[in-house]
Amino acid sequence: MKLKTLLVLPLSVLALHLAMPTQAQAQAQEAEKETPELDGSDVEKELYEREQKIGRLSLEEQLKLRAAQQKAAEDPEVLAALEKRNQALKEFRDALRASMIKTDPSMQVILDKLATGTHPGF
């Protein structure tokens, strides 16, 4: 009985210790939750979810929504907001690119290969 207790107790403590996340693991998991996605997957998910919701509307509601969107796109306030969004996106991409090159200067060659066409990416 004593031998069994001597074996089971340390093994139980070891198993409990291994199962509990360390402080570093907990901090890393928390930081991961707070870090925004830079790959665009959050935007893709949002667009997918929006299209799913629109798909559940009746055809009449979908047509009405699209017509309202087209009319709203002509509004000067909406056009100004779009320009602000585009400028903010450009600033974000410029900052991301600069940070990547600062971290690893060899990235400039790779990023230059991507920076062609109408949608340079980085």
Instruction: Report residue 67 as tokens.
Output: 């017509």
Report the sign of the C-alpha dihedral through residues 29, 33, 38, 44, in that order. Answer: positive
pLDDT above 80 for 97 = yes
Of all helices (H) and strands (E), which one includes residue 90?
helix 76-103
- What's the N-to-C CA distance of the chain in angstroms? 67
Among 31-40, 73-82, 88-97, where is mean pLDDT lowest? 31-40
pLDDT band at 104 (very low <50, low <70, confident <90, very high): very high
The whole-number pLDDT of residue 108 equals: 92
Q: pLDDT digits over 14-70, tens only?
A: 555 555 566 666 666 666 666 666 666 788 899 999 999 999 999 999 999 999 999
Instruction: Report residue 20 as tokens.
Output: 């509990």
DSSP structure string for 34-78: HSPPSSSHHHHHHHHHHHHHHHTS-HHHHHHHHHHHHHHTTSHHH
The one-character DSSP state at 115 is S
Are the CB atoms for 91 and 85 separated by under 8 Å? no
Are the CB atoms for 122 and 111 separated by under 8 Å? yes
